[in-house]
Structure 1
Amino acid sequence: MITGQDRLDVAYATGFVHAQDRFFQMDLLRRSGAGELAELFGPKALPLDRAHRLHRFRARAAAVLAQMPADDRAFIDRYVAGINDGLHALRARPFEYALTGATPRPWSAEDSLLAVWAMFFDLESGQEPRALARGWLREHTDAAQLAFLLPESTQWDAPLDAREIAQSSAPLPRSAPSWWGKAEPQAILAAAAAPSGIGSNNFALAGSRTDSGAAIVSDDMHLGLQLPNVWYRLALGFPDGAGGQRRIVGLTLPGAPPSVIAGSNGHVAWGFTSSYADLFDLVVLETDSEHTGQVRTPFGWETPARHIERILVKGAPADELAVRDTSFGPIRESGGATYALHWIAHDPAALNLNHRKLEAAMTLDQALAIANTDGIPAQNFVAGDEHGNIGWTIAGVLPKRAASSLAGTFPLAGDGGATWSGLLPPADYPRIVNPADGQLSTANNRQLKGVNEQLIGDGGFDIGARNQQLRENVRALGAKVTVPAAFQASLDDRALFIAPWRERALRALDAQALAGHPERAEFRRMLETSWDGHASVGSGGYLLARNYMWALQELLFAAANAEMKKIDPQAGMPFATTRWPAVIARLIDERPASWLPRGYRDWREVELAAIDWEIAALTKGGPRLADQTWGTRNTAAIAHPVSMAVPFLKPWLAAPPDQLPGDANMPRVAAPKFGQSERMTVSPGREEEGIFNMPGGQSGHPLSPFFLAGHEDWVKARPRPLLPGAAKYTLTLVP
């Protein structure tokens, strides 16, 4: 708990403790935002630095600060002063600098803005490879094939404004693309280590559904996991200016302006999931000999501004990057084409300190209005107040598009392509307030099915299965719901999405398929006997059914994935659309002869090939198929980033290798290095009942007793109090 005479004192103290516990983490965050990691880690970090430096966020930070309101600038300056004083007060520099041979650089106000832009990279940079992947597909399919491969919705969609979306599937094209189904066994083997996908859950229950009459808000944001955790939990106390005392509890992001990211202020509680709004366009730029040194944009011919970015590299000469900037953003060349990267993060209004106004919100309506002006990566904002009201909207800036948002998901022609030319006014933001069923939930899925969905667009929504499951969990809670009961809803690891893939695999493994194939027989036995309907650590059946789906994806799309990765290493069918499982399911269920990959007699043979190659992957090197479980593959690998440079220290810099239940496409998202970065469930005004979990502890030092404090509770999902207990240690900062 941090208390002070006013909010500025609390900002200073927050900076002080952030620096003492997390300065190296903060340093990495600002360097990521600015493209300055190679100064610490040498040439291996240079490709990432060059990609991030292209956006010149340090220069943009200086421009934002120059226009920042005086009270916001005073707030951030006090935080910066606290950081630098906290760093200087340490008896020794943080241990990471002794290992890297570097000296901590003082903190600046620009650095705190860069920490926020680092989160823009984390949450939104996937839209660039997505657009490139979709562009490749558009160039290598006809219109009918493209519509089939990139469906706009599926039966898994679970929007806020409808129970379901009526399906009108695209007709099956008469033929498949020329690249279809060209794969080698070696390519299929990678499917066993397929990524778990995207994540974050939140939901709110209205007072009509709770035992207290106050709303309940639950939030678990899914991010990459390492030590220390991305979040630093805090309770803040200071005078409210009206003779009372304000208390705010929740999460802060060390290095970023020190407001509570998600939490409760006693009157309103709020949480976030990434919105996956369409916030990024690749604008194709054209050149010709009559316009030397110019490029053609949707606004006509222009001469790009040229900037030389000097990147310091540990152990090597500095690298110079020439950045060419247009009115639509910096220029990137990829796949033989030239693009402007038109990203909402470049807009001067994309980042501000309005988020701290949530600390003083007294009602749901006030909180929603603040969220619509918030300068953060665009998020689903779900909130509830002490009177039982609940609501959803988008927090963060949105582009105002003149045309269908679907166009912006592909590279846009530079001679009039339909990109945006301004920001959506806050008054036009979509909202849902107090729905009749008394609940709201989001999980990175499509939010709306009505006309307002065009205000958000589709920047890569999750397929929707996770929110469909979460929504029904919340509905099943019934009435008179307590905070402990609500906390359980996001811990559901039932395999509802994978269960149909198990059934498909069982159908393929009939008596004829098993004859003379003992490995297939073992595969079927595990699907039948080592399956409990959950992504549980002991389930071999879950592992096999999940990887069967991924193996089919690689078998059918391997050639396309390989070509897309030549354009961008991240690109591929899973980036082009999260709905690819629905595409493959339709093929496996309808079995069209015209889409049968060459070299296969029927679709059953395709399925068996995927199973055989999956068996080869899981038994490569000698392990028995019978010994494979989901837990053996889904084992925590949560460690301090320095452990990659000094692996002999990993035993002291890593969390235990716990086997983790859960996976993508279910509320309990879990992967070795990705998952629920926090779990928070709270009723505003009743914070004493609030529940919290977090991987890792508060301290970033491995010798601290707080380095892993609470981590085991997170692994086992044991509810712990949201509020701090009785003080054991006290730090007093005197002016």
Structure 2
Amino acid sequence: MTRRISTLLSTVAVAALIGGCSLLTSVPEPVTVESRIAGLETEGLDVSAPVEIRWNAHMVPWITAESDADGAYALGYVHAHLRLGQMEILRRAASGQLAEVAGPLAADLDQTLRTIGYRRAAEANYPALPAETKLWLDRFAEGVNAYVARLDELPHEYRLFAFEPKPWSAIDVLAFGRLAGSDVNWLVSIGLLGLTDREDWPEIWDEVMRFNGGSLPSIAELEADRDGGRLLAALLFTLGGDARAGSNAWAVSGARTASGAPMLATDPHLGITVPNIWLLAGLKTPSFEVVGMMPAGMPVFGLGRNRHLAWGATNLRARSSDLIDVSGLPDSAFTTVREEVPIRFGFDRDIEIRVSPYGPVITDAPMVDDPQGRQLALRWVGQGGSDELSAYMDAARATGVGEFHAAMESFAIPGLAFVLAAADGDIAIGTAARLPARPHGAPGGLVVQPPESGEADPWNTMLTASSLPWIVNPEKGFVASANNPTAEAVTPLTIFDTPPDRIAVIESHLRPAGNVDREFMAKLQRNTHSPSAVVLRDTIVEAAEKAGLGSRVPDELAEWNGDYEADSRGALLLEGMIAGLATPVYEALGEVDVLEVVSRWAWFRMKLARDLLRLTPEQALTALEKGFEEMEAAGEEFAIWGDMHRVQLRHPLANAPVIGGRYIFGDVPTGGSNETVMKSAHSPAGERHWAFYGSQARQISDMADPDENHFVLLGGQDGWLNAEGFSDQLPLWQRGDYIRLPLTRTAVEAGFPTVTVLRPKE
């Protein structure tokens, strides 16, 4: 979801600048961590007792409060200090209020976001929350507002867009949570609508499904499948975004670790942008003692550790939505919601949102179209009642696997596979989601479903964490997830699987491992091996030999081991070959219009290998010759993969015209590729390019010691542009180093020596 958000921010940046915001607003001057901390106002705040905030050298806060309410307030105060500019744009996206600052170019986007109804869902959910959760949310928002009220200088984003801050509320926080939980499946389905009127749509869908849920095919299997139907899109980018969802997480039993206690490693895969979507923090109140990663602007520890338990997570791609054809329903079946979209530099837009018994009519939105002219409603679990915030709060206080599992009963979106390591020796993997009770074998592959009612409607029964798979202490001594389903469930968990590259590599290293330590876990998090790339390489080599071009295959490619290390020559040559080969392959097949879609699809290498085998000998010869030309050109321009494949710390404003170069804060070589454990996703390219998606935060925790928790962000902790803490973790990231986030008081005092105290009003 984060890359979708990043693209929304880019749209806002470009639209606002074109709309008349100042091109003369310069990036702030560099400022040190010490100066940023010293700039925090600390007097006369709405806390019942002093709140201590200790800071380390990377501007990570460790908050100690005498009450939970004061802890939530302090979190809001600190989040705003670190990320207010980022938070404001995300808040506007969730509520469909981008055109208010960006102008007419964002109006259609606002209308579409409002049709989906993230904010309506938040407003409907808030009254049903437990009193404790409401207080936590309200106090967090009060902390944000207290910080804004004391600002002497607004963040750069406010000044660039020339708008004033507005008060925050609990609804704002909940709405962003709904946006962040958008379902991969309905985003994919909306993208596939354009194909459903094709005569060969059933064959297209069959091929999509053949790529999901299977193991990596061999060349022989590819050869046998060479006459299969065309795959046009399995994961289509919609609403300007990316329908991917990635991450790795694994836990190892204490019987196989050096410390004798379980260990956990997790690294979320999201859009590569700065500020990072995560910020690091520690918190101690009467109810909480926790360290970990928090989404900016949300008072939850999405990934983290308390004294008893560490947790990681991966997106399950859970099928929590349907597109329903409501064309045949009478007008009386719909209700109408009327809203006004404020538009800067333009006339405000009055919109009508029709809501069917199954959800809002998404095809009424200007950015969603069905070629068959159907009226389609979005039926999504996220539009109903659920309480992820309470689930995360209870999980952060859990003393064992059982309590964590019970905490997830109210959790619905996005469906996650949680991986747990406990100080009592347990390890576990489990599914947290709310899913309709669809039977296996049902026509779940249809992009558009007919209306159902009564006993035929699977949405009458919703499955939750208590009835979905949870595995505790398996005999193999480890649990792992790389977006693959946790186990067979009573209902289909997903439609669109990820390729098995990452989970296969993770399990191949964990299965024989003993004496596992932090160095082992960190090395595995940076693993760059891609089994599917090896299959594609072997297919290309075999095809070249058949075409009489075997002599053009360089030894560095033929002998390449499949590792996308930054210093790999073989990875560079394969990617140069792919960049040259892809277009002529699909031109020969008459499918050039699908290349842009499939080139960013997780299964692209396997599809390209199979489609190469579909060509006639003459077509293959032409395509391979072009591939070799591009490969050789890339090999002449660049020496190794990292020369061509880069990580760039880009603020979303880097996409703006004229001034975009001001907002690039780092450009370094990197290893990894689309389906490596250390993911750094990219499109086919024989020229210098930048990863747009992938590993952007890491955690390792050893349950033998409450202080052995290690985290790092790709970028930095501070969202103030050009500040020292904005990008200071990039060197750590490159080296595979981490920041220690301890739990014991002695270690916190030693590692977080700078102290500020929020003091109550006199």
Q: Same fold (TM over 0.5)?
A: yes
Of 326, 329, 335 in structure 2, the residue corresponding to residue 285 of structure 1 is 326
Of 172, 179, 191 in structure 2, the residue corresponding to residue 118 of structure 1 is 179
CA distance in 2, matches of 1:411, 1:135: 12
Cα distance change, pair 610–310 in 1 and its aligned pair in 2 (3 A): farther
The match for 1:645 is 656
CA distance in 2, matches of 1:446, 1:626: 42
Matches within 5 A, 1:675-694: 675-684=694-703, 686-694=705-713
Cα distance change, pair 143–616 in 1 and its aligned pair in 2 (3 A): same
The match for 1:500 is 535
CA distance in 1, matches of 2:128, 2:375: 32
TM-superposed CA distance for 1:654, in Å, is 2.5
TM-superposed CA distance for 1:532, in Å, is 5.5
CA distance in 1, matches of 2:140, 2:592: 47
The match for 1:364 is 401
The match for 2:471 is 432
CA distance in 1, matches of 2:659, 2:276: 21
Of 365, 371, 374 in structure 2, the residue corresponding to residue 335 of structure 1 is 371
SS of 1:638 mapped into structure 2: strand
Do the aligned partners of 2:280 and 2:717 also contact (CA within 8 Å) in 1? yes
Task: Write the deviation string for residues 593-613 of structure 1: whole angstroms up to 9, x where unpaired.
Answer: xxx45xxx43xx444444444
SS of 2:106 mapped into structure 1: helix
SS of 2:270 mapped into structure 1: strand
Tell me the TM-score normalised to structure 2 length: 0.79
Task: Write the deviation string for residues 654-693 of structure 1: whole angstroms up to 9, x where unpaired.
Answer: 3311111001222010142322121101023623222222
TM-superposed CA distance for 1:375, in Å, is 4.5
The one-letter code sitting in structure 2 at the alignment partner of 1:683 is D
Do the aligned partners of 1:460 and 1:578 also contact (CA within 8 Å) in 2? no
The answer to whether the aligner puts 1:232 opposite 2:279 as a matched pair is yes
Task: Write the deviation string for residues 288-337 of structure 1: whole angstroms up to 9, x where unpaired.
Answer: xxx7x53xxxxxxx521122332222222223332211111111331223
The match for 1:306 is 336
SS of 2:375 mapped into structure 1: strand
The answer to whether the aligner puts 1:510 opposite 2:552 as a matched pair is no
TM-superposed CA distance for 1:493, in Å, is 0.7
TM-superposed CA distance for 1:361, in Å, is 0.6
The one-letter code sitting in structure 1 at the alignment partner of 2:566 is V
The match for 1:541 is 570
The one-letter code sitting in structure 1 at the alignment partner of 2:294 is T
Of 210, 222, 242 in structure 1, the residue corresponding to residue 257 of structure 2 is 210
Of 318, 328, 350 in structure 2, the residue corresponding to residue 320 of structure 1 is 350
The one-letter code sitting in structure 1 at the alignment partner of 2:506 is L
Cα distance change, pair 510–625 in 1 and its aligned pair in 2 (3 A): farther
Do the aligned partners of 2:429 and 2:471 also contact (CA within 8 Å) in 1? yes
Cα distance change, pair 206–222 in 1 and its aligned pair in 2 (3 A): same
SS of 1:698 mapped into structure 2: coil
TM-superposed CA distance for 1:618, in Å, is 7.1
CA distance in 1, matches of 2:195, 2:92: 32
CA distance in 2, matches of 1:409, 1:212: 50
TM-superposed CA distance for 1:419, in Å, is 5.5
Task: Write the deviation string for residues 226-279 of structure 1: whole angstroms up to 9, x where unpaired.
Answer: 111111100111234xxxxx52110111212x1211101110110111001112
The answer to whether the aligner puts 1:662 opposite 2:703 as a matched pair is no
TM-superposed CA distance for 1:649, in Å, is 6.3
CA distance in 2, matches of 1:341, 1:511: 50
The match for 1:104 is 165
The match for 1:161 is none
The answer to whether the aligner puts 1:700 opposite 2:719 as a matched pair is yes
SS of 1:281 mapped into structure 2: strand
The match for 1:299 is none
Do the aligned partners of 1:29 and 1:114 also contact (CA within 8 Å) in 2? no
The one-letter code sitting in structure 1 at the alignment partner of 2:316 is S
The match for 1:734 is 759
The answer to whether the aligner puts 1:222 opposite 2:269 as a matched pair is yes
The one-letter code sitting in structure 2 at the alignment partner of 1:661 is G
CA distance in 1, matches of 2:334, 2:407: 36
Task: Write the deviation string for residues 144-179 of structure 1: whole angstroms up to 9, x where unpaired.
Answer: 67535531656537xxxxxxx99x9899789666x7
The match for 1:714 is 733
Do the aligned partners of 1:492 and 1:666 also contact (CA within 8 Å) in 2? yes
SS of 2:187 mapped into structure 1: helix
The match for 1:490 is 525
CA distance in 2, matches of 1:65, 1:232: 25
Matches within 5 A, 1:122-521: 124-125=183-184, 127-130=186-189, 132-133=191-192, 136=195, 139-141=198-200, 146-148=205-207, 150-151=209-210, 153=212, 155-156=214-215, 198-240=245-287, 247-256=289-298, 258-287=299-328, 294=331, 303-333=333-363, 334-336=370-372, 337-349=374-386, 351-402=388-439, 404=441, 407-408=444-445, 410-414=447-451, 420-448=459-487, 450=488, 452=489, 454-476=490-512, 478-510=513-545, 513-514=548-549
The match for 1:81 is 142
CA distance in 2, matches of 1:127, 1:142: 18
TM-superposed CA distance for 1:646, in Å, is 6.6
Do the aligned partners of 1:662 and 1:669 also contact (CA within 8 Å) in 2? yes
Do the aligned partners of 1:210 and 1:481 also contact (CA within 8 Å) in 2? yes
CA distance in 2, matches of 1:349, 1:560: 46
The one-letter code sitting in structure 1 at the alignment partner of 2:282 is A
CA distance in 2, matches of 1:550, 1:51: 35
**Aligned length in residues:** 666
Task: Write the deviation string for residues 416-446 of structure 1: whole angstroms up to 9, x where unpaired.
Answer: 7865334214431211111001101101124
The one-letter code sitting in structure 2 at the alignment partner of 1:330 is P
CA distance in 2, matches of 1:174, 1:640: 43
RMSD of aligned C-alpha atoms?
A: 3.6
The one-letter code sitting in structure 1 at the alignment partner of 2:574 is A
CA distance in 2, matches of 1:376, 1:414: 23
TM-superposed CA distance for 1:64, in Å, is 1.1
TM-superposed CA distance for 1:513, in Å, is 3.9
Cα distance change, pair 626–678 in 1 and its aligned pair in 2 (3 A): same
Of 608, 611, 627 in structure 1, the residue corresponding to residue 638 of structure 2 is 627
CA distance in 2, matches of 1:715, 1:392: 29
Do the aligned partners of 2:103 and 2:346 also contact (CA within 8 Å) in 1? yes
CA distance in 2, matches of 1:373, 1:180: 38
CA distance in 1, matches of 2:625, 2:111: 41
Task: Write the deviation string for residues 505-560 of structure 1: whole angstroms up to 9, x where unpaired.
Answer: 2223339644xxxxx9666466247x463212343432442465577666666789
TM-superposed CA distance for 1:82, in Å, is 0.6
Cα distance change, pair 415–435 in 1 and its aligned pair in 2 (3 A): closer
TM-superposed CA distance for 1:36, in Å, is 1.7
Do the aligned partners of 2:97 and 2:110 also contact (CA within 8 Å) in 1? yes
The match for 1:243 is none
The one-letter code sitting in structure 1 at the alignment partner of 2:261 is A
Do the aligned partners of 1:128 and 1:282 also contact (CA within 8 Å) in 2? no
Matches within 5 A, 1:563-578: 572-573=597-598, 578=602
Tell me the percent identity.
Answer: 23
CA distance in 1, matches of 2:504, 2:226: 33
TM-superposed CA distance for 1:644, in Å, is 3.1
Task: Write the deviation string for residues 342-400 of structure 1: whole angstroms up to 9, x where unpaired.
Answer: 11211122644221111211111111221233254111111110021011111232222
SS of 2:648 mapped into structure 1: coil
The match for 2:13 is none
Gapped regions of structure 2 (runs ≥ 5): 1-61, 233-240, 364-369, 682-690, 743-747
Cα distance change, pair 521–39 in 1 and its aligned pair in 2 (3 A): farther
